[in-house]
Structure 1
């Protein structure tokens, strides 16, 4: 389980530092919670251990209960400070006798660990140490002792492997003269012998040694021919003085090699620049967003609470302390403590020998801690055989500027160190072969994409699925196939059997160098490309929603009216009437008897004519040529309208049978319905960040059966959901099952770049695999793979036909406005041209206007200027006057009468 970064938002830690950093039983009480006291003993002034561990533990308590506010138990931390063996033992006795703690954290002083463990065993109180301790303290022999740190004896193998890698066959061991240093020698000698490396000399430095004593020992070492030194110390001050004096003696120059072990590597804050070679070994801490968030918060608290501390950055001891508190809090809650009292001791019982009190919950607490496993800030927190499970170690090099650069990694079970974590290079058939560790998702549902099966009698795991098959097909097309080998590694949580996080967590394993690639149904996103490189997509993708469909509807009485809106129906009827009137006007002076008779009959035929022209077409329905032209235009319009109506009605009747219950996201948000998504996918964040759903509205599901049950229950108070959001390939798989006929895709499609394979940033393999995937797609091999796993294609199949439109299929008058306008204009033009009366009337009026205008102008020019001239004009007018001839334009009626006379 990840330690969520959301802690910083739920509790602004740096606003309440004093309360949490000095949390004590006297300052905290909660009647509704069971309080469990725990104690910690360390040197509060020690920059490399106690000072920062105290802050980390208090932050761990506040962070944990900010995220688990509903827990019924609470840890109460009691801290004690001591700088020596006697003081440490006294403080532990006080915590057990007077405070009644149920767990002891520490001690920081390794010499005090055996006595503290003995006290814990007598009181039945677990002693958990995350500081360096003697390898001789075995948790298997001391049942109440838990080492929440890496076993120091393991690093001996990594040191020997590194020495062999660089060809150093002789070394000098410089160590702290204490149980911690003396007991490490046997482990180191064993590892060196297995790698044919000789231990030339052992130099013991007392923890109380003065500078002149250290310098004398260094000058003696200079007289020996061996120039490779292994330094094993717990004290930061002793180690710092050793290297400072070695620099003065000229032993930090070229030709000298210093190899410091984990305790000093993790606690040594600074070292002067050196021209020689300084290597170190330390625990590998995987990168995570939670860790980065914690670092920034820790630094603020350090500056606020311990401004004079020489500590500048976190070390592994602080992270182990933080994770230990989380493990304790989980263990206490699992016990469900109701009475956490400590069996009190008598006042006279003050020595270790006489200590006889015991914790009521100590044994159960010990058992729970040994069974806890989670992903903490330091990596995987899993106690195996009483101590933290061994993880990878880093081999770093100290540069001239004092910076530590990781050069190699060592992992348990490996015979050599490597440049990349969990990647190996081997020689096969005289060809250097790169072995890729490929992480794959562990799916409980939709196994058509990625599936795995373990054969019992061989204990061999086989991998299959669409994504796996595409990868294998692309691998066969690689040009550099012979130089690349691989193994699949499931991203599996051993305790639950499911996936160990989500897809983002899986991809982060590449950056943390646990995997060299990720193969699966992994969607390509821009934010993911910041940490990894993807190949070209091998499947089209996109997200939409899956919703139930309405049950089959019965046709209603007025269903035939639904394809068109009322304004369209009125427009069509108006066009019928308009067409009848036009034909009536054009045929009024012809021999067509259709419109003859009384006015009522003429009106009825005018309205009926457009319908009869369609229903009972006759050859001689109209007489004039222009009437025939208009009739053809009308019939064409009618045919187009009938085709549109038929198509719209057919579509509507089909949609009625498969209508989605919900059409849009806005509808779901407005009604506050719950929606579902596929577990471990990116869809949850998308629904919350992009679409605006509240986390309380979201439910996660795994399989197609889960989808069916949730959608069938419905969005009401039945424990179901209104819709399920998922990527289109997964929805297609669901629709291809026996449940598919009752559901459909609906709403908007949110596009993504599809599925791709992930590799480290800058990897040259990406382009090679992209070209290979392109070959698999082009030659049709991907289609064959689809047919083996699906009843449909998912790689390049469109989705538009699968999703109904957001608006109903109803046509409005505006949809056909262009058609009606064109028909109307053409019809009016035909009417004007056909009816000469309108044309002649217009021309006659124009001529009269022009003639009148001309006469007015002439009269103005010819007006007489005097009386004599007026008499002359009048006389001339009388002389020229003549009878006016009446000229008339023959009409069609007159032509008919003349013809009738001639015929008679």
Structure 2
């Protein structure tokens, strides 16, 4: 990320201040006052430090650095001298202190300061003189170490804690959050972009991003909180310093925003210092969830540091009631040790020192110290705290990539839901988790719902005035769907319907202006309206259809083919031909007229297929097999022919209508006039998408006007939205019908103010209405008179298909096949008997010849023929 204009302006101002103040600073002998420390053990290696001693975090850092310098001298025998300067939280003072430490004290490195603005200014000075600057700010942008080569991020990046915040938001199903941050560059450029990305990943969004000046007074805080209180979102993420945080939460309690239904989440910059807050501030933060970096506090090294720090901090700052160290103290202690270990090799220059610091790798009190690209490895485990009573409770942990758990042990049960951490204490003390939003307290206790008072179709929205009470009553399909959806919400939602006289675009505009919380009715979802409001998913079908007059069907000459489907006609013909073939095959040996040339036999076969049923009676058939096949064939044919007659009769008596205009191409080519409803988006669609001539487009304001124009020919067709067309055709079912396809366009939806958390809940509730079947019931009630579409469908169902007669076809086909099979078997048996008799006569002739030659001397009568000679075949075999 490149430096912002604010960064460059700050550097320019710092440079100007240096030119004017450097002389004054040196003339006064440096910055020595009651809040400035200058600790020098003995002359030797000098290391500078710049902290804000007016803040708790600066006090902790100063004590921890002094402890670390003392420990380094005792344990490494280095003559390490810590030169401490107080910046008083001012970037200009930090720059002057840095120049003094470098030019006059010739320090090898400078630690601190703790804010982003001071860090950027000091880093510019450090880069100018090639002196390493170890920043303890809670966040440093990624471009910082590239912009200033001698800048080292000595505190772990807190960017991952934004993912921990997002994980908390996702765990409870909150979809929108308000973010309050201190208006300093380190927050604007460092924390908030990461929070925005983390929330986007879990499907949540930032409702309001509020920047508070560091010196915000009560009036400013009150005004900002009042604006946030008017919004529906009740989840707040706070990233501010301790001083601003104390003032903020005192005002939050005063504005009654620390009550039931609210959620407050604080980041490390405030959570890590809750231990230092007084009882008054703690009482104003009851139920706050905190997120801070986790450091192992069970080791002996930490315990020794903890006890010594409490003692030294109490002596140094008796005005502070709590002497426990925070995360910043641990980080400052390890930063001094990082420099001390890098200086162990003796004579070392600035560049070599920077290289040694960048490769540091040792266990510190805050954990493992390891740098990558001059940045300390980021913390990936965060502790979740909950303010309750006089202090806070540590409720669990969140680990990056692992989720929530009760402990940091690898064997601990982990879950993406915070429910694994047990019961939490929320603001106001309710046992139930806040839903994350509420009705704005600045408005009425119910949602103000705008309803169009003069809709095109009364079936969707109907607004009536009671003549006695003069009150309004609201009904209609869209109103009913909305009421049904509200029933499925997991919480009560009160609604007040308010009639609105004006266009639909104007109604949606009122939602944007917050005059209405939502708008309900036959409001089409179009892109132009998304600028002013967010919409739920449509509760009706979407699209536009063309309505045209009807005319009698022009294909009456071929109506006799309509009773049967194509497959039925084909199958009937095949069965007739097959049965005719079977009869011809069986009867041709008995009837000479069934024989002849191949052409004659083919004609005879076709004639049998379609005429035998009417001309060849049973008494003219010679074979029982053909009679059996014919009887079944006649039975099936009678049933089919009777069904055909009944179907044809029904079709002749039913009205057969077709659209007078086939499609929009016909309308455009004929330059015909078309009509549309009074809704502006329909006209825009006709012009921009369907490309009709604007001079040929007419507007109508009611169904009656549309029907009259269509009947009189003033318009050739009318474009209506699909849900509206259903009602129109229900009323004029015999005169009009749809033509052509459905043209894609938005359906009807409910409009809510931009960013409303109700959208997601209403979408889920609408799905439940759809799945319960209730929406279908409401549609049926609205279009109860719509019968014409069913009539058209009924005529289609009158067409007969093979599925209605497949048993009969199988019966007659099976019977004919069985008869043909029996005929072939019988014919083959007759042929075999004839052949056997012929063979027997040949063998008898052979035996007689043999006998003649054997008995050639015997007398054989000459006048006896061989055929007349009786032969006993058995005597010769």
What is the TM-score of this pair, normalised by structure 1?
Answer: 0.40
What is the TM-score of this pair, normalised by structure 2?
Answer: 0.41
Greater C-alpha Rg: 2
